[in-house]
Amino acid sequence: MTRKLGCIILAAGKGTRMKSVIPKPLHAVAGRAMVKHVIAVAEALNPDKIVVVIGPDMEQTTEAVRPYATALQSIPNGTGGAALAAKEHFKDFDGDILIMYGDTPLVTTPTLQKMIDIRRQFPAIGLTYSGMRVTAPNTYGRMVMDDDGTLKKIVEFKDASAEEKKITLCNGGIACADGTKLFLWLAQISNDNAQGEYYLTDLPAIARKDNRQTHVVEVPADEMEGINSRVDLALVEKLFQKKLREEHMLGGVTLVDPDTVYFSYDTLIGQDVVIEPNVFFGPNVKVRNNVHILANCHLTGAEIEEGAHVGPFARLRPGSKIGKGAHVGNFVETKNTHIGAGAKAGHLTYLGDAEVGEKANIGAGTITCNYDGFLKHKTKIGKDTFIGSNSALVAPVVIGNGAYIGAGSTISRDVPDNALGITRAPQINKEGWVPEYRQKKIKEQAKKDK
């Protein structure tokens, strides 16, 4: 019979070093709040329960982690106190409980699953802890091992002796415990230490007194990277982006200069896609096969169909859908717009709240005037249309199939199929006007200079 699994995610820290009014767990990594990364990893384990521990006045975090329950750590008294705050949510819970941190978004599901499996494999093991090998100078807690290979104790850096500080096996923080024992052990933690706090790191010694062993699962140090400052946030973002770039390249995407391409956590890209330097993907972007994205593009909430060509310097905003084989060129911006298969918008264009039909050609400088100061309105451009350069289409307006719009026109009424829509003032040429004008201005300037 499979044992139950519960997850406690510690996210009560205010993050004072972040220098922000935003709670630390809500700062984003790859377009998603760090605590939601941790929740997603926990969800992949199919747990019976997830509880997020928060601090006072963290309503934003409560909303962000819904539908999962929150437990309040009313006093910031350490990780042990934070975990103990979730006790009421685990009454009579007879499974395993995984304790995670809301500021470690790089941890992976396989790592957590390994910790769970080892704890369940041997009845004598009451706890499994994540450990990491760190040789560079650091202030992590040190893991003191016993002769039998089990964990004897964890010593916080500030409490460690000079000899203990030489230990390279450091505490990763994440723990998996026998749920029938966890809260009994948590209640025995003392705050007799340099910080005057209740440390989760005291659990191995307490479990040992209860004749239960603690096993260390060594994991890559990158997975345990926590975030306490904006500097840490930038480091974790860099590590996360490296991971995403490798995943996409291994999936069949060519990145001309990988270090300059930034993905969101949910970016979906097909095979044989080429992405040139300096491209940014915000959340909710889907790119089909055989797409070419040229340099210096910004994409958010957009869908690009097979064989499309985007950029350089294109901006696709939420609701944009670029059809099969379509072309969106340099300095073209789209929002809530569907560009049909084979259509082209090559240069200096804004298309907002619009439908562009198949094989339509949008001339340089064209804009859809979709906002009247109060409401947004839609522009419909039929298939095989030709929109002349520097045209303004004042929505709501419909340009029929096969229609032409003369360059420089402001179109505010519907144009029927195969018709020419044009608005222009008559051209007037004044012969000899320029020399006379110049002489007049020269005389005016001479008077002014006196």
Catalytic residue numbers, as ranges: 347
Q: How far is CA 435 from CA 147, 427, 429, 445, in A?
A: 101, 20, 14, 15
Residues 6+ apart with CB under 8 A from 128: 115, 116, 118, 119, 175, 176, 214, 215, 216, 217
Q: How many CB atoms lie within 10 A of CB 161?
A: 9
The distance in angstroms from the start CA to the end CA of the chain is 103
Q: Measured between alpha carbons, how far is 52 from 36 in angstroms, rounded to an integer? A: 11
Q: How many CB atoms lie within 10 A of CB 440?
A: 10
Residue 57: DSSP 8-state: T
Q: Measured between alpha carbons, how far is 57 from 72 in angstroms, rounded to an integer? A: 10
Residue 376: DSSP 8-state: B
Query: Encoding tokens for residue 219?
Result: 């994991």
Q: Measured between alpha carbons, how far is 238 from 443 in angstroms, rounded to an integer? A: 65
Beta bridge partners of residue 368, listed in sequence order: 393
For residues 299, 300, 306, 312, the Cα torsion angle rounded to the nearest 10 degrees is -10
Q: Measured between alpha carbons, how far is 92 from 124 in angstroms, rounded to an integer? A: 21
Q: Which of 107, 89, 106, 2 is nearest to 50 (CA)?
A: 89
Q: Which of 161, 140, 144, 163 is nearest to 153 (CA)?
A: 144
H or E element: which one contains 331?
Answer: strand 327-339
**Contact present, 187 and 160 (Cβ < 8 Å):** no
- Report the amino acid identity of residue 70: T
Looking up tokens 């699962």, which residue turns up? Answer: 217
Residues 6+ apart with CB under 8 A from 198: 77, 78, 79, 80, 81, 84, 189, 190, 191
Render 83-117 in DSSP notation, one character per residue. HHTTGGGGTT--SEEEEEETT-TT--HHHHHHHHH
Query: Encoding tokens for residue 415?
Result: 């144009």
| Phi/psi at 53 (5° precision) | -90, 125
**Contact present, 269 and 253 (Cβ < 8 Å):** yes
Q: Is the dihedral of CA 24, 28, 32, 38 positive or negative?
A: negative
